[in-house]
Structure 1
Amino acid sequence: MDAEYADEKPPASRLADGSNGQNGYDSDDSDDVPLALRATRKSAQPSFGAQMRSNAATQSSDSDDVPLGLRAAQQTKAKKAKQIPRRNPVGSARAPSVGIKRKSSRQESAPRPRSRARMSSQSEGKKGGDGSKYKWETLEWNGVLFPPEYEPHGVKMLYDGVPVDLTPQAEEVATFFAVMLDTDYVKKPTFIKNFWDGFRRVLGPKHPIKEFKKCDFGPIHQWHLARKEDKKAMSKEEKARLKEKKNEDEAKYKFAYVDGRKEQVGNFRIEPPGLFRGRGEHPKMGCLKRRIYPRDITINIGKGVPVPDHPYPGQSWKEVRTDQTVTWLAYWKDPVNVRDFKYVWLSANSHFRMDSDEAKYEKARLLKDKVGAIRAQYRADWMSKKWATRQMATALYFIDKLALRAGHEKDDDEADTVGCCNLKVENVECINPNKIKFDFLGKDSIRYENVVEVEPAVYENVKRFCRADENGAPKSPAAQLFDSFDAVALNAHLKQLMPGLSVKVFRTYNASITLDDLLCTPDDAGDKSFKSVLELPLPERKAAYHSANKQVAVLCNHQKAAAKGFDDQMKKLQLQIEGLNKDLEELQAELDEAKDSGDVKKVDRLKKRVEAKETAIRNKDVQARTKEENKNVALGTSKINYMDPRITVAWCKRNEVPIEAVFTKALMHKFSWAMESTMWYRF
């Protein structure tokens, strides 16, 4: 789950779970809860982002499908919201957006009023039973969409060359494996072992299938391939009908009504059963993900509203509660990683999430003003006589310098991933005179391998921490490097240095300030000024941004495997470039002939065609170079979670790059609040 919502985890989860949530968000250090952004700013003239939110609010309030009872509550809220004084949060001053006339220099330096009204300005002041502030007053939604039940296909697998009968449940699990026969997972021993353990449990002890090596899933795989071809062969009309039916089935689950406002639900689909894949070398890859039923799910709804229905007669939801202090809509235990929970949230462009995003980056900006003093303190603590203080100061240096994650303790059945606080002696190597080599599996089992030059005091400390503990007892390679504290203690210490500070905030700060610096350039006096790439063609400008984005991704260790079809894509690009070069040679020959003949008009025409072809070649070269350079780097993760989007928006405005060239449509909606940023915004 998102770090911003960690206070909303179920109590049982908070007690037992040192790990992070799910749902596709990068969520390390989930014990951090950024401060809520309480203030709003009026809008003098709506910018693109303000208009997007205004349109969404209008659509929500005026929609015919808003329940009548909620419509009245919304109108009452709107009247009261006008009476609430608004102020600008610290560090959020904004100048008018591009295209708005500036009347004076005084006006330019004034804080930009904010266009988005608080979602729950009235309910913010109320207290829950535990003293927590309410996040909403009314909440109505239609629950989750369950995947269809399994329909047996009747194709038999072979065992020792002979077709065997399977129950529908066993056939389903066999099919899970069969459809993956053309992936690399089936070549991994861990995947095979975990699948086989789960399959044997489903088969039962009396089933004739006893050995994996005698199993042949080929017939089911062939059935799967034929089914895929049938889908490809469908007419456009058939595909359109299926899509329309899918949209009809999903329509009622897509929206919730919060305080009378229509909000989009982010992840209303329950993941179907299958085989867990994981990333990297996850120890649970191949484990069976069982089907999730209503009896597994806790629902959060408002008082007095209808309980969402479901397609399973005789079953009840695990729990139906009304918790106004949280913003999750539902949760259930992850069927594979049982200490984790899956959540249903409102979408990334909901008011809850947009406010939380903006608050996260504002908090990171506050760290900018305090980081100097924090660094001075941890440098002084490197020589502390207290073992724990010295260790924590050394760890904080690595978190600051390398943007390492905190790292939480793991159970034996969890992936042996490592962050700063749970580094083992074997994960570090001291290289004279003052370099340290890191080698460990980070989040999602992605390997982190890096050699860095460090301060001499840090180097000596690490050597000392590797040799022995505080009492002088020698350490084994599997012993903890930092043996006197854990991630919880470190985050508690950080909160003493600055309210709300955590390892996550440090990562956000370092990612954002790095991007901000990369997109600027020092002048002769050493001051930073905006770096212009306007003189470059658009593809080169985009490549310049992607290069900066890549450096941030490398800092945060956001890696990925090259796409399956990467080599084919590169070959296709190279063929296109070769074809363009051949066309250019022919055009150049025609141009030379035209010059010799003295045909001025033809020369002018051919010159333009040559220039256009040269531009096309340069653009393709840039595309190929960028693709090759970024094949193992996940650029999206830092955009989604760590880089202040206002830096990107401002850069695009300064350099006349369309925002959609660097942000996906989903990110543009998620960060619609940032679209108001002016071209001179600085983190």
Structure 2
Amino acid sequence: CSRWEEEKNEDGVKWMQLEHRGPYFVPPYEPLPKDVHFYYDGKPLKLSLATEEVATFYAKMLDHEYTTKEIFQNNFFHDWRKEMTSEEQEIIKDLDKCDFGEIHKYFVDKNEARKALPKEEKQKLKEEADKIQEEYGYCILDGHREKIGNFKTEPPGLFRGRGEHPKMGMLKKRIMPEDVIINCSKDSKIPKPPEGHKWKEVRFDNTVTWLASWTENIQNTLKYIMLNPSSKLKGEKDWQKYEVARRLKDVVHTIRAQYRKDWKSKEIKKRQRAVALYFIDKLALRAGNEKEEGETADTVGCCSLRVEHIQLHPQLDGQEHVVEFDFLGKDSIRYYNKVSVEKPVFKNLQLFMKNKDPTDDLFDHLNTTFLNKHLQHLMDGLTAKVFRTYNASITLQEQLKALTNPEDNIAGKLLSYNRANRAVAILCNHQRSIPKTFAKSMQVLQEKIDAKKKQVEEAQEEVKKAEDEFKDTKDAKAEANVEKKKKLLKRLEEQLAKMNIQATDKEENKQIALGTSKLNYLDPRITVAWCKKFGIPIERIYNKTQREKFAWAIDMTGEDFEF
């Protein structure tokens, strides 16, 4: 049997044996060379080591949009001052008087020098990295040598966050062995902490799958060292996630009928739950857990929506009962959408908003615990997230059926695949900002297209010339020449068509992030089956890392798989 189908342990036990080296710690800070200066108010100022290190974090980011943002600057300056000596605090009082230019240039040059290293030098660096990977990047789990996902601690630096995160610019502290909890099996070689240090704790907990953990200082969240996505444990977990979503397929009609009935319920609590569930199902909204006040960015999901986040339009752009959503979702990504909803939903929303202030909760009788308890009752293992996975996967499968033309060449079929993937990314609101290099790379592609068009025109002339010659001479050599020229023309036309498809794809994709749904929401078996059915090499869709993560699906899926 394949390793995905080996014997399972009894409930809750994830492994019997776990042995590893512990995390690899980022090397200590290297001070700047003597001739690289920090300037304050135009004068060079020698900084203490801790202050200098934090200054380099900011200097490295000077050409980044972040350092132009006021929140980022204020948070950075506040945290930087905490690292300063009292003498430095006396002098450095204004970020505008700080000049990090020389430090910035030093790191840019260092980067360029590294890129320009001769091949042998680069090879030597690669070998050193591979040695660390060999030593720290693997563990022994139940007799299998498994790859570890992220075996290095995160380097210290300035927190970036996504979207307009209120904590951007704060100092991410260096992780020390004293912060780290190690998890392994009792009888294994317990990892040794670095010289002169000790672990926060060593535990032997085989009901969890992490190897080490610590709390990061900005969001106060736990960070874990986990197995690589390609490992057996992760693969099984992934597979189970999609199996739960497939089970939803069998009961989703019953669930939909139930929440429609509940729109008319006598209990307001049930009505709110039913409307929220409709949004989660129809719009793939996240559930939206309650959060600590002021701890994190003000982002919301379905259950935590406030009155100010929606506007109701009885009529808008020729549609009836339109709800206009505008709020910051996970990672401070804006969700903006205008949706025509069913009349009872619209009427209920009017009721939920009645006599409320803009900052009041829209679903004031609802929380995620109550919602998920109800979902669990409808189907074992069902949570709001399963709807996202289900709707994403089913959308991909339906779009692939609708968009794939068996007659197309590979480039045409891949465009159809990306369009199907885009439909999912739009459903899940996976956006990205237009890449900085977009205009430039589009221009380069357009120039290539123009050059290729010219080649096609020239080849058309050549064919015409050859045909005229054959008409005149009627000899075999001229006939062969016509065939040769036609073949060349056909090849050039195919290349041009391929480039045009590439340009279309690029343009349609500039603001959409396909990766998130591909890795987390789409059952890979749908893609594998599609590739096998239409003879598309799997590596045209999944890169090496993704192929490792989805090895379980590639191993066990035939072309007839239906989600």
Q: Normalising by the residue count of structure 1, what TM-score does the alignment of the two structures yield?
A: 0.78
The one of 545, 559, 563 equivalent to 1:679 is 559
User: What corresponds to 2:70 in structure 1?
Assistant: 189
**1:219 maps onto 2:219 in alignment:** no
Deviation at 1:381, TM superposition (A): 0.7
User: What corresponds to 1:424 in structure 2?
Assistant: 306
User: What corresponds to 1:607 in structure 2?
Assistant: 486
Higher deviation after alignment, 324-333 or 398-407: 324-333
- How much identity, in percent, do the aligned residues show? 47
The one of 262, 265, 268 equivalent to 1:387 is 268
1:151-176: CA deviations, max 9, x gaps? 10142211111111111111111111
Which runs of 5 or more residues in structure 2 are unaligned?
Answer: 315-319, 471-477
1:585-614: CA deviations, max 9, x gaps? 222222222222223232221111111111
**1:336 maps onto 2:223 in alignment:** no
Write the letter of the residue equivalent to 2:97: K
For 1:639 and 1:590, the matched residues in 2 are separated by 45
User: What corresponds to 2:168 in structure 1?
Assistant: 285
Contact 2:181 2:199 in 1 (8 A): yes
User: What corresponds to 1:449 in structure 2?
Assistant: 336
The structure with more helix, counted as a fraction of residues = 2
The one of 129, 134, 147 equivalent to 1:264 is 147
User: What corresponds to 2:418 in structure 1?
Assistant: 546
What is the DSSP-based 3-state SS (H/G/I as helix, E as strand, rest coil) of the residue aligned with 1:519?
Answer: helix
For 1:507 and 1:250, the matched residues in 2 are separated by 35
Contact 1:580 1:613 in 2 (8 A): yes
Write the letter of the residue equivalent to 2:83: V
The one of 609, 625, 629 equivalent to 2:508 is 629
Contact 1:534 1:656 in 2 (8 A): no
For 2:232 and 2:465, the matched residues in 1 are separated by 65
User: What corresponds to 2:496 in structure 1?
Assistant: 617
User: What corresponds to 1:504 in structure 2?
Assistant: 385
**1:320 maps onto 2:184 in alignment:** no
For 1:440 and 1:201, the matched residues in 2 are separated by 34
For 1:666 and 1:227, the matched residues in 2 are separated by 29
What is the DSSP-based 3-state SS (H/G/I as helix, E as strand, rest coil) of the residue aligned with 1:564?
Answer: coil
Deviation at 1:532, TM superposition (A): 5.2
User: What corresponds to 2:443 in structure 1?
Assistant: 571
The one of 477, 499, 504 equivalent to 2:358 is 477
Deviation at 1:617, TM superposition (A): 0.5
The one of 521, 527, 536 equivalent to 1:657 is 536
Deviation at 1:550, TM superposition (A): 0.5
**1:138 maps onto 2:20 in alignment:** no
The one of 50, 53, 76 equivalent to 1:169 is 50
For 2:143 and 2:467, the matched residues in 1 are separated by 73
Contact 2:404 2:417 in 1 (8 A): no
For 2:532 and 2:133, the matched residues in 1 are separated by 37
1:623-651: CA deviations, max 9, x gaps? 11101101111111111111111111111
**1:413 maps onto 2:295 in alignment:** yes
What is the DSSP-based 3-state SS (H/G/I as helix, E as strand, rest coil) of the residue aligned with 2:305?
Answer: coil
Deviation at 1:206, TM superposition (A): 3.5
Deviation at 1:358, TM superposition (A): 0.9
Runs of 4+ in 1 over 4 A off after TM superposition: none
What is the DSSP-based 3-state SS (H/G/I as helix, E as strand, rest coil) of the residue aligned with 1:436?
Answer: strand
Deviation at 1:298, TM superposition (A): 0.9
Deviation at 1:483, TM superposition (A): 0.9
Deviation at 1:561, TM superposition (A): 1.4
User: What corresponds to 1:72 in structure 2?
Assistant: none
What is the DSSP-based 3-state SS (H/G/I as helix, E as strand, rest coil) of the residue aligned with 1:434?
Answer: strand
For 2:85 and 2:340, the matched residues in 1 are separated by 56
Deviation at 1:205, TM superposition (A): 4.4
1:384-414: CA deviations, max 9, x gaps? 1111111111100000000000112233131
For 1:367 and 1:601, the matched residues in 2 are separated by 62
Contact 1:299 1:331 in 2 (8 A): yes
For 1:658 and 1:444, the matched residues in 2 are separated by 34
Q: 1 or 2 for the larger relative contact order (CA 8 Å, sep ≥6)?
A: 1
For 2:249 and 2:522, the matched residues in 1 are separated by 14
For 1:508 and 1:445, the matched residues in 2 are separated by 21
For 2:116 and 2:251, the matched residues in 1 are separated by 61
For 2:459 and 2:143, the matched residues in 1 are separated by 64
Write the letter of the residue equivalent to 1:316: K
What is the DSSP-based 3-state SS (H/G/I as helix, E as strand, rest coil) of the residue aligned with 2:502?
Answer: helix
User: What corresponds to 1:362 in structure 2?
Assistant: 243
For 1:337 and 1:381, the matched residues in 2 are separated by 38
The one of 50, 74, 79 equivalent to 1:198 is 79
What is the DSSP-based 3-state SS (H/G/I as helix, E as strand, rest coil) of the residue aligned with 1:206?
Answer: helix
Deviation at 1:442, TM superposition (A): 1.0
**1:273 maps onto 2:156 in alignment:** yes
Deviation at 1:249, TM superposition (A): 2.4
User: What corresponds to 2:430 in structure 1?
Assistant: 558
What is the DSSP-based 3-state SS (H/G/I as helix, E as strand, rest coil) of the residue aligned with 1:147?
Answer: coil
What is the DSSP-based 3-state SS (H/G/I as helix, E as strand, rest coil) of the residue aligned with 1:520?
Answer: helix
Deviation at 1:663, TM superposition (A): 1.1
Aligned length, in residue pairs: 545
What is the DSSP-based 3-state SS (H/G/I as helix, E as strand, rest coil) of the residue aligned with 2:336?
Answer: strand
For 1:574 and 1:276, the matched residues in 2 are separated by 38
Give the root-mean-square deviation of aligned CA atoms.
Answer: 1.4
Write the letter of the residue equivalent to 1:607: K
1:281-313: CA deviations, max 9, x gaps? 111111110000111111111012222123241
Write out aligned runs for 1:519-534 (5 A): 519-521=400-402, 533-534=405-406
For 2:178 and 2:366, the matched residues in 1 are separated by 39
For 1:310 and 1:666, the matched residues in 2 are separated by 30
User: CA 1:242–1:381 in 2, change beyond 3 Å: closer, same or farther?
Assistant: same
For 2:191 and 2:22, the matched residues in 1 are separated by 5
For 1:312 and 1:617, the matched residues in 2 are separated by 61
Deviation at 1:542, TM superposition (A): 0.4
For 1:557 and 1:588, the matched residues in 2 are separated by 45
